[in-house]
Amino acid sequence: MEPSEPTHNLPQSPFSKFKKVIFGPARNLLDPSVGHRISLIAFLAWVGLGADGLSSSAYGPEEAYRTLGAHTYLAVFLVLATAITVFVISYSYSRIIEHFPSGGGGYVVATELLGKPAGVVSGCALLVDYILTITVSIAGGGDALFSLLPYSLHHWKLVVEFSAILLLIIMNLRGVKESVTALIPIFLIFLGTHIFLIFGGVIHHAADIPAVTHEFHQGFQSGLAQLGGWGLFLVFLHAYSLGGGTYTGIEAVSNGVGLLREPKVETGKRTMTYMAISLAFTAGGLLLCYMLVNVQPTHGQTLNAVLANDLLGSARLGGINIGGILVLITIASEAILLLVAAQTGFIDGPRVMANMATDGWLPRRFATLSDRLTSQNGILLFGLSAMATLAYTRGHIGILVVMYSVNVFLTFTLSQIGMIKFWFTNRKRERTWKRNILLHVVGFILCFSILCVMVVEKFLEGAWMTVLVTLACIGLCFLIRKHYYNVAKKITEIDLAFDNLPSDHDEQKLPEFDLEKPTAVILVGGYSGLGIHILLNIFRHFPETFRNVIFLTVGVVTSDFFKGAHHVEALTKKTETTMKNYIDLAKKMGIPARSEYKIGAELIETVSELCVEISQKYPRCVFFAGELVFEKPQWYHKILHNETAYAILRRIRFAGLPMVILPIRVH
C-alpha cells in the first residue's frame, strides 16, 4: 500500500461544527470596530452588571426584615440605613473607577495600594464571591419561581436551577453583549412591576399612615422599655448587618470597567448612578411595604411573593380578576431577573481571574480569550463551581446569602482601606483629600461592621465554609506563584546563557532563501533563550539537513483587549519586533531566515492554521517546537503549563505535517 499524500487540511470534528453553531463564528480581531461592537453602553452595563445589585432586593431586604422579629417598627430605620449605605458604597466605588479606569475593582485596588498579599486576599475573596453570585442569584430565582407553584412540585427546583446555570454558560460563551441584550426585556419588566408594586403599596396604605405612625411610636417606646436604647440598637444592627446581601452587587461595575463603552470612566460612573438609585428605591421601598402591609412569612413563599399577593392578588379590571396574572408577572420577572443577575458572576469573575493569572497567581490559561473574545476557561470554571455549590447547599438561600456576604464585605473593607491610604498619601497634592478620605472612612465603618457581625453571628451557619474555601484559595495562589517564580528563574538562567552568542559569519555572504531546500519552521513565543535553544539544537541534532529557517509565532490577545483598541496594535508591534530579533540572530549564524505570524485569541487553533498555510508555501518544511521538561514531573505541571506543543502536534498531524518536539530541561 502506498503512503497517503498529505491533505494539508485541518480536520473539522463534529464538536467544532457544533461549537460554531452554538457559540457563533470567530470574531475578527483586526476589525477596528470589534471592540466597540462588543462593549457595553451605560444602559447595557446597568442590565448586565447592575442587575446583580438590583436583584439583591429579592433576598437582602427580606433577610433583614425577618431578623427584626417582633420589632418590625424598626424597618423605618432600616429603610434610611439601606438607602444611605447604598449611596455611600456606590459613590466610593465611583471614585475607585476614576482612579482605576482599567477595571479590576477590589483586586487591583488592594494590589496597588496595599500590596500583593492584600491583593491576593481580595482577589480570592472576589473569585469565591462571584461563584456565589451565580449560585445565590439562581437559588433566589428558583425560590421566587416556585413560590408561584404548588409545594408538591418543589422537588424539581434544583433541576431547574442546574439547567439555568447551564443555559448561562452557553450564553456567555457566545459573548457578553449577546447574553446581556437577550435579557433586557426581563430587566425592564422587573423594574416596571416592582415600581408599580411599591408605589401601589404606599398609595393603597396612605390612609393607614397615621395608624402605622402610632404603632411605630408605641412599638418603639415598648422596645425601649424592654431592651433599653443599647439593646434596641443591637437588634437594629443585627438586622441591618444580616441584610448585607442587599449591597452585594455594588462592586460589579468597577470590576467590569474594561467591558464598557468609551469613555469608560464616564460610562462606569453613569452605570453606578443608575444602579444606586434603582437599588436604593427598590430595597428601601420593599422594606417600607413589608411594614405597611404587615407581611407575615409563609412557608414555601418569599416575602415578595406574599406582598404581591396581598397588594395585587384581588385586583380587578372591568369586573375581571387580573390579580393572579399581575402576581405571576411580578414574581416571574423577579425570578428571571435573578437569572440576569447571575450574569455578573460570569462577566466579572473571569475578568478578576484573568488579572490574577496575568500576575502569576493562577494558571496562565485563565488570561486567554476564545475566538469569540470571551474568557472561556473562566466561564466554564465558574459555571461548574456554581453547580457544585448549589448541590452542596441544596439551594438554601439563607445559607448562600451568608456565605456570599462574608467575602463581599471583606473586599469592600479592603478597598475602602486602600482608598483611605491613597488619599492620605496624596494629601499634599489633592485639595479635596479630607472630603474624599471622610467618604471612605464612613464606607469602611459601614462595611467592616457588617462583616464582623456577619462572621460572628453566622459563623456556624455557612460563614465558616466561605472562610475555609477562601483561605484554601489564597494558599493555592501562593503555591502557584511560587512555582511560576521558580520556573521563571530557571528560564532566566537559560536566557543568560545565550546573551553573548558568537557571531563570526559575514552577513554579506549569506545564501539566498531557497524554497527547494529543506526548511525548519520553528514555533516560538517571545524572543528568549527558549527559542534560541530550539534553533541551536535543530542544527546540532540535524547537521547538514536544513538550509532555511522560518520563525512562526502567534500574538495572543488576552483580557487586556478590553482596555482599549490599542492593545491589538501594541501586540502586533511587539510580535514584529520579536520576529525581527530572531531573523537577525539567524543571519548572524549564516542561516537564511523568514518569519510568519498572526494575531489571534485561541493559540492552538491559530498556530495550526498558520502551519497549514506555511506548508502550502514551503513544501519541504518540518515543524519544530520546544517543551519544558521537568526533572521531576508532577501532576500539576499539566495544569500550570499548557503543553502547547503537543496540542498543536495533535491538531496538525491529520494534515500530514511533520513536527518534532525538542525537550528543554528545567532542573
Tell me, what CATH number does 514's domain have? 3.40.50.620
Task: Kindly state whether residues 219 and 351 are assigned to the same domain.
Answer: yes
In a domain? residue 188: yes
Q: How far, in Å, are 53, 71, 182, 190, 627 from residue 47 at the CA level?
A: 10, 35, 10, 11, 45
Give the CB-side neighbour count of residue 356, counting CA atoms within 13 A. Answer: 34
What cell was used for 626?
520546544
In a domain? residue 19: no
Task: Kindly state whether residues 510 and 441 are assigned to the same domain.
Answer: no
Task: Kindly state whether residues 323 and 460 are assigned to the same domain.
Answer: yes
**249 Cβ neighbours under 8 A, 6+ residues apart:** 49, 50, 51, 52, 53, 54, 55, 56, 133, 275, 279, 341, 344
Give the residue from 428, 448, 481 where a domain finishes: 481
In a domain? residue 233: yes
Q: Is the per-residue pLDDT at 424 higher than 80?
A: yes
Burial (CB count within 10 angstroms: exposed 0-12, middle 13-18, buried 19+), residue 322: middle
3-class DSSP state for residue 51? helix
Q: Which of 304, 351, 332, 283 is nearest to 49 (CA)?
A: 351
pLDDT score for 550: 94
pLDDT score for 499: 59
CA distance 339 to 189: 14
CA distance 542 to 532: 16
CA distance 131 to 127: 6
Q: Which of 169-183, 261-275, 349-363 has the highest mean pLDDT?
A: 349-363
In a domain? residue 10: no
Please indicate whether residue 259 or residue 101 has the higher confidence score (pLDDT).
101
CA distance 374 to 372: 6
Q: How far, in Å, are 52, 84, 92, 413 from residue 419 at the CA level?
A: 24, 19, 9, 10
Looking only at the bridges linking them, the beta strands covering 593-600 and 659-666 are unpaired
In a domain? residue 9: no
In a domain? residue 22: no
Task: Kindly state whether residues 476 and 507 are assigned to the same domain.
Answer: no
> Are residues 464 and 107 in contact, defined by beta-carbon separation less than 8 angstroms?
no
Alpha-carbon dihedral 287, 292, 294, 297, rounded to 10 degrees: -30
pLDDT score for 662: 87
3-class DSSP state for residue 589? coil
pLDDT category, 1, cuts 50, 70, 90? very low
Average pLDDT over residues 202-222: 79
CA distance 205 to 196: 14
Please indicate whether residue 610 or residue 256 has the higher confidence score (pLDDT).
610
pLDDT category, 508, cuts 50, 70, 90? low
DSSP state of 499: T
CA distance 260 to 102: 10
Please indicate whether residue 317 or residue 133 has the higher confidence score (pLDDT).
133
Task: Kindly state whether residues 463 and 506 are assigned to the same domain.
Answer: no
pLDDT of 388-408, one tens digit each? 999 988 888 778 877 877 888
Number of helical (H) and strand (E) elements in the chain, helices listed first? 25, 7
Task: Kindly state whether residues 474 and 507 are assigned to the same domain.
Answer: no
Alpha-carbon dihedral 274, 280, 281, 287, rounded to 10 degrees: 160
Q: Is the per-residue pLDDT at 134 higher than 80?
A: yes
Q: What are phi and psi of 414, to 5 degrees?
A: -65, -40
**570 Cβ neighbours under 8 A, 6+ residues apart:** none
Q: Is the pTM of this model over 0.85?
A: no
> Are residues 250 and 275 in contact, defined by beta-carbon separation less than 8 angstroms?
yes
Q: How far, in Å, are 216, 234, 453, 614, 632 from residue 288 at the CA level?
A: 12, 20, 24, 69, 64
The residues that bridge with 624 in the sheet, in sequence order, are: 522, 660
Task: Kindly state whether residues 109 and 221 are assigned to the same domain.
Answer: yes
pLDDT category, 463, cuts 50, 70, 90? confident
Task: Kindly state whether residues 246 and 376 are assigned to the same domain.
Answer: yes
Which helix (H) or strand (E) is 619 found in, with range? none
Sign of CA dihedral 17, 18, 24, 26: negative
pLDDT score for 372: 43
In a domain? residue 158: yes
pLDDT category, 441, cuts 50, 70, 90? very high
pLDDT of 41-78, one tens digit each? 666 666 766 677 777 777 788 888 888 888 888 888 88
Task: Kindly state whether residues 383 and 528 are assigned to the same domain.
Answer: no
Q: Return the minimum-mean-pLDDT range out of 172-176, 377-381, 455-459.
A: 172-176
DSSP state of 113: H
3-class DSSP state for residue 429? coil
Task: Kindly state whether residues 422 and 506 are assigned to the same domain.
Answer: no
In a domain? residue 374: yes
Rounded percentage of the chain residues whose pLDDT exceeds 90: 8
pLDDT category, 4, cuts 50, 70, 90? very low
Domain that holds residue 540: 502-666
Q: Is the per-residue pLDDT at 246 higher than 90?
A: no
Q: Which of 255, 253, 246, 273 is nearest to 447 (CA)?
A: 246
Domain count for the chain = 2
- Please work out, in degrees rounded to the nearest 5, the angle formed at the alpha carbon of residue 434 by the alpha carbons of 432 and 438: 120
> Are residues 131 and 389 in contact, defined by beta-carbon separation less than 8 angstroms?
yes
Q: Is the per-residue pLDDT at 561 higher than 50?
A: no
Give the residue from 481, 516, 539 where a domain finishes: 481
> Are residues 295 and 102 in contact, defined by beta-carbon separation less than 8 angstroms?
no
pLDDT score for 624: 94
3-class DSSP state for residue 513? coil
Task: Kindly state whether residues 507 and 636 are assigned to the same domain.
Answer: yes
Task: Kindly state whether residues 164 and 193 are assigned to the same domain.
Answer: yes
CATH label of the domain that carries residue 86: 1.20.1740.10
> Are residues 311 and 331 in contact, defined by beta-carbon separation less than 8 angstroms?
no
How many Cβ atoms sit within 10 Å of the Cβ of residue 456? 10
pLDDT category, 3, cuts 50, 70, 90? very low
Give the residue from 449, 481, 513 where a domain finishes: 481
Q: Is the per-residue pLDDT at 155 higher than 90?
A: no
> Are residues 371 and 27 in contact, defined by beta-carbon separation less than 8 angstroms?
yes
What cell was used for 544?
547538514
